[in-house]
């Protein structure tokens, strides 16, 4: 291994290479950054290069041929010591280290100590180590590596030369992996390499490990083989999926989800990758980040959406993942609901724009209208603890409340139709309505902050009293009324395309 073989981290490499060439290394380095991006590798190269016997004046690369380099490569060098702070974290180990550094290196110029996961040291160990850093022997170089630099005491950080390692970009990683595959005489599709790079989240070690598993499958790797190792997330389908959002093609978007599901694509992974895909488009739209420039095939689709619309789509996708995180048997549901919500809202906004004489207005369902405040005397009277709201009033108003909610949210009434208002308590001079649900999935819909806020606003309008809402789960409750025909499918075929389209656009089935 040579400095030239280390991927990226060029500013860090340049500084350290100059110090090695001038034979003036720092007495202590601190390498911080995510796992698997080259911290320990560069630390070993420093130790190897400083003691290389065939390295000429002004050079920095180790020869990898002399006795010192071979010992370092084999892990048998007495002058290049690696310490795992996770298992050697106490004060006794640091005391032993303090005794060790007193002795001069045998046959070499420097003794290099690499302390990996340095943040795992105890407070007492850090205090003991501080004494060594304050008065280091001239022949000793310490290199601390950590993934959690915030856990290191400032007294330690201030006595080291600090280098912050950056994550490897997807493009760099994919190119690096392609080079490895070429050396192994393995043909592998570019999309697979990009997927590995994206899944590794900048960690070279993870990416190389996954590639190593894949290349054992043959010399000509397609998705058929690669999917045995990594869950597939189809980039071409992802671009088509995004275009459906941009062009408001809900039916086509739902068809793509159905195809991905039938092809065995990991939809949970696809959803996360789609959010990352949207993030890159958002950066391109907002700040013109050329590294995030979208593929040529979807340039027109990208132009159809504003930066704010892309941001809203990202939020919707994240919200749907959180909302349905426990519904493992329906992995397609978060994507389907994101399609319905985003395209339904955008279509409604466009309709409002056409009706408003060319002036842009917010979607009608985006927020509840601001109601005029009652007179102060009335407000004090209604909300005072002496005037109590009882559950019978809520029960009589419940069908009317559900009807009003449907004007602003199409999916919330579906969940509420299977609920029952249980009781009203007075807590801290405020009425609290407890709503019971038979199914956890329906309860989680109302637990969503935005949905709960809609219900509380409509309750206030209907009762002229401030009402908070809390939810409870009861398996034996019976709904107050039979769900409307189009809402029965929440239990019968909640994942069907017909239901999702009908609920999203407040439509009904027309028989031809």
Q: Residue 284: which H helix or E strand, with range?
A: helix 267-287
Number of neighbours of residue 260 by Cβ within 10 angstroms: 22
Residue 366 lies in a domain: no
- 445: nearest Cα among 421, 419, 479: 419
Alpha carbon 341 to chain centroid distance?
21
Q: Residue 269: which H helix or E strand, with range?
A: helix 267-287
Q: Are residues 469 and 399 in the same domain?
A: yes
Phi first, then psi: what are they for 436, rounded to 5°? -100, 140
Residue 32 lies in a domain: yes
Q: Residue 473: give its domain's CATH number.
A: 3.30.300.180
Average pLDDT, the chain: 81
Q: Are residues 329 and 467 in the same domain?
A: no
Q: Which residue matches tokens 């690369």?
A: 61
Q: Residue 115: give its domain's CATH number.
A: 3.40.50.300
Residue 419's pLDDT is 85
- Indicate the SS3 state at residue 351: helix
* pTM attached to this predicted model: 0.56
Contact in structure between 198 and 226 (CB atoms under 8 Å): no
Half-sphere exposure of 192 (CA within 13 A, CB side): 24
Residue 232's pLDDT is 62
Using the 8-state DSSP alphabet, how is residue 106 labeled? S
Contact in structure between 493 and 499 (CB atoms under 8 Å): yes
Q: Are residues 423 and 494 in the same domain?
A: yes
Instruction: Quick: pLDDT tens for 130-141.
Output: 988 988 888 999
Q: Are residues 142 and 246 in the same domain?
A: no
- 97: nearest Cα among 110, 108, 82, 77: 82
Residue 151's pLDDT is 92
Contacts of 476-483 with C-beta under 8 Å, sequence gap 24+, read 476/438, 477/419, 477/420, 477/436, 477/437, 477/438, 478/420, 479/417, 479/418, 479/419, 479/420, 479/438, 480/395, 480/398, 480/399, 480/420, 481/399, 481/417, 483/414, 483/417, 483/418
- Indicate the SS3 state at residue 53: coil
Residue 372 lies in a domain: no
Phi first, then psi: what are they for 97, rounded to 5°? -65, -40
Q: Considering only CA atoms, give the Rg of the chain.
A: 31
Residue 291's pLDDT is 61
Percent of the chain with pLDDT strictly greater than 90: 21
**CA angle (26, 27, 31) in 5-degree steps:** 70
> What DSSP string describes 232-257?
---HHHHHHHHHHHHTT-HHHHHHHH
Residue 8's pLDDT is 84
- What is the crossing angle of helices 497-505 and 333-355, to 10°? 30
Q: Are residues 348 and 437 in the same domain?
A: no
Q: What is the 3-state secondary structure (H, E, C) of 287-316?
A: HCCHHHCCCHHHHHHHHHCCHHHHHHHHHH
- Split at pLDDT 50, 70, 90, the class of 461 is confident
Residue 56's pLDDT is 84
Q: Are residues 251 and 220 in the same domain?
A: no
Residue 373 lies in a domain: no
Instruction: Quick: pLDDT tens for 182-235.
Output: 988 989 888 888 888 888 878 888 899 999 998 888 888 887 788 778 766 566
- Counting the structural domains of the chain, the total is 4
Contacts of 12-18 with C-beta under 8 Å, sequence gap 24+, read 12/42, 12/163, 12/165, 13/42, 15/163, 16/42, 16/46, 16/60, 16/163, 17/60, 18/60
Q: Which has more confidence, 459 or 348?
A: 459
Residue 459 lies in a domain: yes
Q: Which has more confidence, 320 or 411?
A: 320
Which of 226, 248, 270 is at the close of a domain?
226
Q: Are residues 146 and 174 in the same domain?
A: no
Q: Which segment of 5-9, 158-162, 176-180, 378-382 scores lowest on mean pLDDT?
A: 378-382
Using the 8-state DSSP alphabet, how is residue 426 labeled? E
Q: Which has more confidence, 59 or 143?
A: 143
Residue 32 has pLDDT above 90, yes or no: yes
Q: Are residues 120 and 181 in the same domain?
A: no
Q: Which has more confidence, 493 or 174?
A: 174
Residue 492 has pLDDT above 70, yes or no: no
As a whole number of angstroms, the distance between CA 208 and CA 176 comes to: 9
Residue 328 belongs to domain spanning: 235-353
Q: Are residues 22 and 152 in the same domain?
A: yes
Residue 114 lies in a domain: yes
Residue 481's pLDDT is 52
Q: Residue 313: give its domain's CATH number.
A: 1.20.272.10
- Split at pLDDT 50, 70, 90, the class of 20 is very high
Residue 474 has pLDDT above 50, yes or no: yes
Phi first, then psi: what are they for 115, rounded to 5°? -105, 100
Residue 508's pLDDT is 52
- Indicate the SS3 state at residue 368: coil
Instruction: Quick: pLDDT tens for 281-339.
Output: 888 888 876 666 677 778 888 888 888 889 999 999 998 888 887 777 788 888 988 99
Query: What CA–CA distances, in Å, run from 291 to 71, 105, 156, 295?
Result: 42, 47, 37, 11
Contact in structure between 112 and 143 (CB atoms under 8 Å): yes
Q: Are residues 343 and 420 in the same domain?
A: no
Residues in the chain: 512
Q: Are residues 11 and 121 in the same domain?
A: yes
Residue 371 lies in a domain: no
Instruction: Quick: pLDDT tens for 342-394.
Output: 887 555 445 544 454 444 444 444 444 444 444 443 444 344 444 567 888 88
Q: Are residues 141 and 203 in the same domain?
A: no
- 2: nearest Cα among 51, 58, 50, 41: 41
Phi first, then psi: what are they for 14, rounded to 5°? -60, -45
Q: Residue 181: give its domain's CATH number.
A: 1.10.8
Residue 489 lies in a domain: yes
């Amino acid at each position: 291994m040579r400095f030239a073989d280390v991927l990226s981290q060029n500013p860090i490499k340049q500084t350290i290479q100059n110090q090695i060439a001038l034979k003036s290394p720092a007495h202590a380095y601190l390498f911080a950054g995510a796992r698997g991006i080259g911290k320990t590798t560069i630390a070993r190269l420093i130790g190897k290069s400083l003691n290389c016997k065939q390295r000429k004046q002004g050079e920095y690369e180790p020869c990898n041929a002399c006795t010192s380099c071979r010992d370092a490569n084999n892990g048998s060098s007495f002058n290049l010591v690696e310490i795992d702070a996770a298992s050697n974290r106490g004060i006794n180990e640091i005391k032993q280290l303090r005794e060790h550094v007193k002795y001069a290196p045998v046959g070499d110029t420097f003794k290099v100590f690499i302390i990996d996961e340095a943040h795992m040291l105890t407070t007492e160990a850090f205090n003991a180590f501080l004494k060594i850093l304050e008065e280091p022997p001239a022949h000793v170089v310490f290199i601390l590596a950590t993934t959690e630099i915030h856990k290191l005491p400032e007294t330690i950080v201030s006595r080291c030369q600090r280098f912050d390692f950056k994550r490897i970009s997807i493009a760099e990683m994919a190119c690096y992996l392609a080079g490895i595959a070429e050396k192994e005489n393995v043909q592998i599709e570019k999309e697979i390499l990009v997927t590995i790079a994206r899944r590794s989240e900048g960690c070279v070690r993870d990416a190389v490990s996954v590639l190593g598993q894949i290349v054992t499958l043959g010399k000509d790797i397609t998705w058929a083989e690669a999917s045995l190792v990594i869950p597939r997330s189809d980039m071409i389908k992802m671009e088509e999926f995004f275009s459906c959002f941009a062009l408001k093609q809900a039916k086509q978007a739902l068809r793509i989800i159905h195809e991905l599901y039938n092809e065995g694509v990991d939809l949970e992974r696809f959803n996360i990758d789609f959010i990352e895909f949207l993030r890159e488009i958002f950066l391109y739209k907002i700040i013109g980040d050329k590294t995030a420039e979208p593929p040529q095939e979807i340039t027109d689709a990208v132009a159809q959406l504003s930066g704010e619309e892309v941001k809203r789509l990202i939020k919707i996708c994240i919200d749907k993942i959180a909302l349905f995180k426990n519904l493992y048997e329906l992995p397609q549901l978060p994507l389907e609901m994101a399609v319905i919500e985003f395209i339904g809202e955008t279509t409604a906004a466009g309709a409002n724009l056409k009706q408003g004489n060319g002036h842009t207005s917010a979607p009608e369902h985006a927020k509840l209208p601001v109601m005029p405040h009652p007179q102060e005397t009335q407000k004090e009277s209604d909300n005072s603890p002496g005037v109590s709201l009882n559950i019978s009033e809520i029960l009589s108003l419940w069908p009317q409340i559900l009807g009003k909610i449907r004007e602003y949210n199409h999916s919330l009434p579906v969940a509420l139709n299977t609920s029952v208002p249980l009781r009203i308590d007075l807590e801290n001079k405020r009425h609290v309505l407890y709503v019971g649900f038979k199914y956890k999935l329906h309860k989680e819909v109302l637990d969503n902050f935005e949905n709960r806020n809609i219900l509380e606003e409509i309750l206030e309008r209907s009762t002229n009293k401030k009402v908070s809402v809390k939810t409870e789960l009861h398996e034996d409750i019976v709904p107050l009324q039979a769900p409307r025909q189009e809402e029965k499918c929440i239990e019968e075929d909640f994942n069907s395309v017909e239901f999702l389209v009908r609920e999203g656009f407040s439509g009904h089935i027309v028989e031809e």
